[in-house]
Amino acid sequence: MPQYTPPLRDMQFVMHEVLKVTDEFKALPKHAEVDADTINAVLEEAGKFAAEVTFPLNISGDTEGCKLDLATHEVTPPKGFKEAYAQYVAGGWAALSCDPEYGGQGLPFVLNQCLYEMLNSANQAWTMYPGLSHGAYEALHAHGTDEQKKTYLPKLVSGEWTGTMCLTEPHCGTDLGLLRSKAEPQPDGSYKITGNKIFISAGEHDMAANIVHLVLARLPDAPQGSKGISLFVVPKFNVKADGSLGERNGIFCSGLEHKMGIHGNATAQIVMDGASGSLVGQPNKGLAAMFVMMNAARLGVGNQSLGLTEVAFQNALAYAKDRIQMRSLSGVKAKDKPADPIIVHPDVRKMLLTAKAYAEGGRALAIYCTLLLDKEIHHPDEKVRKDSAEIVALLTPIVKAFLTDNGHIATNACMQVFGGHGFIKEWGMEQFVRDNRINMIYEGTNTVQSLDLLGRKVLGNNGATLKKFGKIIGALIAEEGVNEKMAEFINPLAYLADQMTKFTTELGFKGFQNPDEVGAAAVDYLRVAGHLVFGYFWARMAQVALREVAAGNTDPFYQAKLQTARFYFAKLFPETATLMRTARSGSKALMDTDAALA
């Protein structure tokens, strides 16, 4: 059976020693009183919930899956899921970082990030039930009417109701301009929604009293394409004026997808037959509200793979220390045993360290992004708010795509450590691989994220935001450039930062002449950008560790951090050279291939 220990020490290191979040909070009036003791206490309890309540349901939930009653359209999640969710609600976890005006605890997003990382490590399929509610909450909080906020937000915040995002249709996924669902205005100001949606995570279940579906549809006079999309809130049960639940609405689950992974989550086919809904935001302006959901979800999906990378690493490490096979190439290490533990073999260590480096680098980036979100919303200085929003927008496609790609690499590597046992269900490793695989696809495939990064976030403003983040990297390089002990971290980072400017300019020029050049280079470009960002955070983490060691701190945590940083820069960071070369090779070898693809 797999195991999981919440990585509280590393979370505390990133928050308190690298990013110094409590110092940042002092500049935010709403969070000025949040101290390290509060953060640590909350996350310790969160870790207990993840490890003791949801993690034991992971394999059983995967085995059992969800069951649909075609007669009633009701879905029953795996055994124990509903009870675990009740504990989650009773513990106040749903309300952790939500607005106190609607019953939330108002704690920083940073805590929510760490809570969800641990929940994703423990049980991604379960975590998606409460996790999808955050997108609905954010969209209604930003764009809902006063009546919609009063009706839905307190219930979403408490966790009494859950939410979904009903975007995808059978004929359109990413290209939402093709959607066909219709919304007919009614005399009372409501709308009747008709259409079909697919791939709706947590789309039907009995874990909460009501499900708040946020649905994209077209008004009768809507223009074609993405400019004709409106957003509607469509509850499973209609809500009466006094807030109590009324009759069943005309929105039903007609089928469940038979998926490769996340079997414990109800990925629903949804049919709307004259379902009653209300308009969110302005007519034909649904994309603005949708992107509130999508951006929150993209950060959340990156967090899912971060969680799976961490738990896969923990189990592979424990197995590598215990499993004996062959002898070390450099001589016997375990003289009292017939063979050495496989952790003595260089390639096993490479696989383990790859997962560790991607988990710890991803954690630093994810916490940094949620700190930016806290500053974007709560900082009193408008310029700080604007800069924070700009940087987090740049980093969002990197969080989504780089962390999920790395999760794919890491979970497969950790399964490989187990050899043949990795393919056996009870060890849990093959499930981590299967569960992670969807993360590279949904909320916009990783290619879409790459096009968003290069085409919109970078070239869209002539690299202005990239230069802004480059100045942040430049400040660290200037600070540590003459420190010989930091040279192994700073020099490669400085070199790539310099190359990134030339690389981006070159691709922008080629893309101006032929847009396919952007499409051909985008995936490689995002991965280079991901390493640039990871390199920055690994250099910062090494900086802190070196200072602690120099001050006489003998905690082995800091030596471990330095060793992982050295591995990252020696074995993973150099991938950027190959990626820049393949990106520069252009689109011709891809597009002039009609004969090859005939």
Catalytic center residues: 443
Six token digits for residue 48: 């207990």
Three state DSSP letters for 360-376: HHHHHHHHHHHHHHHHH
- Which residues are CB-neighbours of 346 under 8 A, at least 6 positions away? 329
CB 42 within 8 A of CB 95: no
Distance CA 481, CA 231 (A): 51
Q: CA 560, 434, 399: angle at the middle one, nearest 5?
A: 55
Residue in this structure with the two tokens 């950060």, named with its chain if needed: 299
Distance CA 66, CA 571 (A): 42
How far, rounded to the nearest angstrom, does the alpha carbon of residue 231 sit from its chain's CA centroid? 23
Six token digits for residue 4: 């999981």
Q: CA 364, 368, 371: angle at the middle one, nearest 5?
A: 145
Q: How many CA atoms lie within 13 A of 583 on its CB side?
A: 29
Three-state secondary structure call for residue 582: helix
Six token digits for residue 383: 């310029």
Six token digits for residue 492: 């490669």
Give the pairing type, strands 230-235 and 245-248: unpaired
